[in-house]
Amino acid sequence: MPTPMSLKSKTIIGVFWSFMDLMANHGIQFGVQIILARLLLPEHFGLIGMILVLIAVSNAIVDSGFSQALIRDQHTTQEDYSTVFYFNLFISLVLYGLLFSTANMISVFFEEPQLTNIIRVISLVLIINSLAIIQKAMLVKKVDFKTLTKVSFIAVITSGSLTIFLAMSGFGVWSLVINMIALQSVQTGLLWYFNKWIPSLTFKVQSFKKFYSFGYKLLISGLIDTFFYYSYFVIIGRMYHINQLGYYTKAVNMKDLASFAIVSTVQRVTYPVLSSIQQEKERLKYGFKSVIKISAFINFPLMVGLAAVAKPLFIVVFGEKWIPSVTYFQLLCFAGMLYPLHSINLNVLQVKGRSDLILLLEIIKKSLLAIMIILSILLGFGIIGLIWTAVINSFVSFLLNSYFSAREIEYSSIEQIKDLLPSFLISFCMGIVVFLVGNMIDGNHLLQLISQITIGIAIYIIISKIVRVQELNTLYQMALPIVNRIKNFRGPS
């Protein structure tokens, strides 16, 4: 059983390398997106947006919740890993064959003939991803984010460079297709190179049943969540012009770069660490409470700030042709505020082995979302109305997630809200000031953006110090060893 000091050290090291991964992976991806937005047209992104739901749902089926089950399990054997590996590979081959054979019907549904060949090529990522699931799960379980960071950095650089070259050469939407395949191919190859694990020629039914009993509920809940997340792409792609889907896709990509970066860092580090203390009730509650407050302290001002600077941000970064994405992006930022909190609350249920509650939650949340989406369409609220359903559902989901997780660790929804309220109020005060500052500086969008960001950071820190928000000091204490590691990582000057 890990000691408090070893657990803290493991968490800090994990956060450090996840932070490095965040800077390398998402930072480079952001740079690539800037270049591609200027080289490609909104309809190119719209075409990819139409089929994202197919790839996302298929990937969820390939994984089947087994990777989370493997990470949670404290006594995994070689036979266990091998059994899951062969299952993942088999399912990926079946799904690829299914998508290949139905590609023409899908293109007819969207009334886009180009989709047939795109689907048949891009679906190869399912097979490629299946080969890396075990390798990635083993590294996450060991909290070895240093290796994962190396893999991400090399893969993003390689695929990004290739994509930009293809876009400049006039390959259009195919540059985006090749980007996805190249990214996953390089990642998979490097994971096999760095993590020296080879599957045994065995498939143990007992191992399959053990992980399936936990994983299938995660699979179903994951499928429901993924389907509804990408259902917006399907609805917009089917009911509106492909350009509108392109604008929405770009807004989602931008929001995901910020919000999901925080989510993935928090989830990847906290899940294996909290799993290691799943039987220690007090430590689990304390660890959960600390993580959720820090996550909110970082993510709330980030998302509110991005919403406030959205217009100059899109104009400076992507160009004026992407201005229609601004309103979509602003609303998505408010939905994205709570994403890390969803993830952490669900992590607690996973750690406690309550995949049944996770499935029940998804059914409840998505039933409510389905009702809102149908009403929005019937009442003719348009794309803005659709996105508002995502915002409302995000806040409702937090209340539901926190209610069920509270039953496992005795940390009620009211307690969570009280702990999160200071960061929430300070963030909105900061956001209002930043938005007003932007309106006072008109004409020079770059100056407007720089001024808003600088003032926003200053206001958030100053108010946090005045009202003595503990997370500011906690973040500083956490940052010290990370800064020291960065200095050591760079070497002496």
* pTM value > 0.85: no
Decide: residue 6, CB within 10 A, 0-12 exposed, 13-18 middle, 19+ buried. exposed
Q: What angle do CA 405, 66, 11 make, to 5 degrees?
A: 55
- Helix, strand, coil abundance in the chain, percent, nearest 5: 85, 0, 15
* Interatomic CA distance for residues 233 and 235, integer angstroms: 6
- What is the distance between the terminal CA atoms of the chain, rounded to a whole angstrom? 40
- Give the torsion sign (CA, 132, 135, 137, 139): negative
What pLDDT shows up at residue 2? Answer: 43
Q: Which of 229, 221, 220 is nearest to 401 (CA)?
A: 221
Give 202's Cβ-side CA count (13 Å radius).
13
Max CA-CA distance within the chain?
68
The single residue listed with the structure tokens 């047939």 is 116
The per-residue pLDDT string of the chain (493 residues; one tens digit each, 9 = 90 and over) reads 444 444 455 555 555 556 566 666 667 777 888 888 888 888 888 888 888 888 888 888 888 777 777 777 777 788 888 888 998 899 999 999 999 999 999 999 888 889 999 999 999 999 999 998 888 888 877 767 778 888 888 998 999 999 999 999 999 999 999 999 999 999 999 999 998 888 888 888 887 887 777 667 777 877 888 888 888 888 988 888 888 988 998 898 888 877 766 656 655 555 555 555 555 666 667 777 777 888 888 889 999 999 999 999 999 988 888 999 999 999 999 998 888 888 778 877 877 777 788 888 888 999 999 999 999 999 989 999 999 999 999 999 999 988 888 777 777 888 888 888 999 999 999 999 999 988 888 778 899 999 999 999 999 999 999 988 887 877 776 666 556 655 665 555 4
Tell me the pLDDT tens digit for each residue of 392-404: 999 999 999 888 8
